[in-house]
Structure formats: C-alpha cells, structure tokens
Structure 1
Amino acid sequence: MKRRGPLLTLAAAAVLGIVLLLINISKEDEPSKPAAAAQSSSVAPSATDTLPPAAPAAIPFPANANYEAEISTATGVITLSITVEGDKAVAYACDGAKIETWLKGSAVSGVLDLTGKDSKLDGRHDGSKVTGTLVIGEKSWKYDAVQVQPPAGLYVYQDGGTRTSWIVSSDGTVTGVQRAPNGATSAAPGLKDGKAVIDGKTVTVTQVSGADHDAF
C-alpha cells in the first residue's frame, strides 16, 4: 500500500500559498486611500472667519461743532458744511452755481441722519471727522468732513423770499448760491467779514448752527 498522506499535505500547502499570494497582489493594485486622521485635519472655515471686522463705535459729537468737506463730482466740486449743536444738526451743500440743498435732522451718539428736499445725508463721527454719504436726487457721493473753527462755517441771509447761502472754508474760501423766490439759482455775491452786498445794499449775514434746526 502507498502512503499518500505527505503528498496530500504538500499539495494543500502549495494551494494555500498561491491563494495568499493572489490576495496580496490584489490589495497592492487597489488605489490608496488617505488616512482618516489626514482627512479630519482639514477643517472648513466657519462663516464667522470670513466676515469683515465690525466698524468702530461712533464717538458722540461735541456740544457745538462745524465740519466741512469738498466732494469731487463729474461736473465739478460740491462743498459740504455740517453744523451740530446738542442732538440736532443742519447741513448745506452747494457747487457755487446751481446745485444746492439744505438738510436737517438728528445728531445722536455720533451718528447723523439728515434729510432735505430730494436729499439726505448720513454720517459717523470718529472723534475728529465725520464720514458718510450725501445723496441729492439720484446721485450719491462719499465724503470725509473735518472739523473747522469760526469764522469757517455756514452763513445765510433771507429777505423777500430770496435766500442767499454761503460756506466759508478754513482757508477763507467762500462758496455760495442765491435762490430766488421762483426757485432759480445763481452764484451768491461775495461775502467778507460777515457782510455782503445784496440788491445794492450792504447786509449782515447770520452764521447757522444746529440750534437753527427749525429755520430750514
């Protein structure tokens, strides 16, 4: 009788070795996958990471203050004057020829909110200047208005339905517009030392403050 036990054992071992070899080869052919730890290391930024920094809080206005700015436009320069007293403010903007608007409103906690006929103005006080937007009709402009000291400021003279308005800048430059009762506008006459010649007579003009809020 022949002994087949050892041969069968060797054959089984050979088959098992071939199977293990094929399994290892198939694993090597599979695409490698990133480790879970590597995948978890990349964290998407939160919504708060992309938000712009909050604007600093506005600084309350002094009890009385005047601010002025020059705004460049496609057709020239608009001069803006803002006068604040307490929690009220008056502003005037003009180009020294045809464009002009008066505005009034609140000056609370360093924030301006003024409106006029077909115009509006907002602004924030940072302690030395006021930054905001002036809107006249369908046009709007950004502005930075710096604080000025008298005699710089806003002046007006009204008589017989005609209103003449001037802005005196810190360098002494005067910009103004005269509005007739029918709404026609023209350059205001010269102003010097608080006086102007209107219709042949010399008149003393009035400097405007936030307290004159209800006069416009």
Structure 2
Amino acid sequence: MKRSGPLYTLYAGLALAVIMLSLNATTGEKGSSYAGAPAATTSPSLSPSLSPSASKERPSPGPSRTVRHGKTSYAGRTDDDVAAVSVSVRGQKAIAYYCDGRTKESWLKGDVEDDGSMKLTGKDGATLAGTLADDRIRGTVRVHDGPQDFTAKKAVKGSGLYRATAEVRGAKIDGGWIVLPDGRQVGIVRKDGAPSAAPSVDPETGAVTVDGEQLTARPVVP
C-alpha cells in the first residue's frame, strides 16, 4: 500500500506528458499549415494610360493647317500715284493687274502663302511681291522700270478687277479695268495688241462699249 503513491505519481506524470505531446503536435500542425500557405499575391494590371511605354509616347503632330483665303479683290495705287494695282485672291491663288491707264500694263499670277505673302510673276520679267494683312495688300511691283511700292485695299461693292476679251469687226479686243474704292477707273484696251486708254465700264453690269460694240467685262478670279 505504501508503494501505490509513487505509482500514482508516475501515472499522472505520464498522462500529463501524453497530453502535452498531443497539444504540441496539434499546435505544430496548425502553425505549419498557416505559415506554409503561400501569401495571396495579386499581379497589378497596368492601365494603358499608366504603362511605361505609353508614358513615354508623345502625340504625333497632326497635318499642317492650310489657310484658305476667301474670294476677294483688292485695289489701290502705287505710292508715286503713277499707276493702279489690283489683286484678286481665291483660296491660295492670286491674279494681279498693273495698269497706268495709257500704255503700260501687266497681268501677273502666283500663289498666296499661309502667312498672306505672295510672289506673283508676269510676262517680260514683271514681278509683284506683297503681303495680305488687315484687309489690304502692301507690296512692291516691278513692270519694265524700277520697283514701285503700292497699297491695295479690300474692294467694296463695284470696285475691283475686270477683264473683257472679244472680237470686234475682225479685231481681237483685250481690255483690263481697275475700279478703285473711290469709284475712279484705270484701264487699257488692246486692239490687235495696240494699247489705248479704256472707256468706262459699268461696275454694276460690266457693260462697256468698244468701237461701237457693247461688250461685257467680268470680275477676274484666279
């Protein structure tokens, strides 16, 4: 009976050891399961707007803009008041007429740049260089002689550039007129190439009488 006490103590110790081993095993399994599970990772999706390649891209330049000038005529005189100059513009094209109202004239044509500048050329080396800005053309014209500066203002109703070509009694007629904003007219009519001062033209109808024949002068456009 005296030996039962130590045995009970031994049995109790063994039982306690088994319980502790069981707890450790259970805890170890749970811990390994938690620690060993791969952490959930999410691969960040890059928005197209934030992608490295997109951030380095630069917008490609659009097509160059072309300025289209409306259909308009300009008329004025040279600074020395010797001759008149008229320029008719439509889009990127221009036709000009230089005339002193007696014997000297020249028709010129060329392109109008986006900035309003123009370089027109005609027969026998005639040139006109000007710039369209603020409803007027300011430039220099050269016809036969030295250069002449001029200013041509935007034409008002009835003013501008007119031309008539026809055959009258077997003769070839070619006439050009510049009607200035103040109503004055400057023109030359060539009959088989021979120049003379042009008779007045009606700006409203374009009617003009040459050698007894009524002709129609029409506005000049490029």
TM-score category by the smaller chain? 0.5 to 0.7
- In structure 2, how many angstroms separate the alpha carbons of the residues matched to 1:61 and 1:169? 25
Compared CA separation, residues 61 and 92, structure 1 to 2 (3 A): farther
- C-alpha distance after superposition, 1:64-86 (max 9, x if no partner): 1111121144xx62000000001
Shift of 1:61: 6.5
1:78 aligns with 2:86: no
Q: Name the structure 1 match of 2:214.
A: 202
Q: Name the structure 1 match of 2:198.
A: 188
Identity of aligned residues (%): 33
Residues 56-205 of structure 1: matches in 2 within 5 Å?
62-73=69-80, 77-109=82-114, 110-118=116-124, 119-160=126-167, 161-181=172-192, 183-192=193-202, 193=204, 194-205=206-217
Compared CA separation, residues 116 and 204, structure 1 to 2 (3 A): same
SS at match of 1:149: coil
Tell me which structure has the larger Cα radius of gyration.
2
Aligned residue pairs total: 148
Opposite residue 91 of structure 1, the aligned amino acid is A
- C-alpha distance after superposition, 1:79-112 (max 9, x if no partner): 0000000110000011111111110111121111
Shift of 1:178: 0.8
User: Which runs of no fewer than 5 residues in structure 1 stay unpaired?
Assistant: 1-59, 211-216
Cα RMSD of the aligned pairs, angstroms, is 1.6
- In structure 1, how many angstroms separate the alpha carbons of the residues matched to 2:99 and 2:68? 24
Opposite residue 186 of structure 1, the aligned amino acid is S
- C-alpha distance after superposition, 1:146-203 (max 9, x if no partner): 111231111111113320111111122111101122x321101121231111121222
- In structure 1, how many angstroms separate the alpha carbons of the residues matched to 2:156 and 2:90? 14
What is the TM-score with the length of structure 1 in the denominator? 0.64
Contact 1:61 1:107 in 2 (8 A): no
What is the TM-score with the length of structure 2 in the denominator? 0.62
Moved over 3 A (4+): none
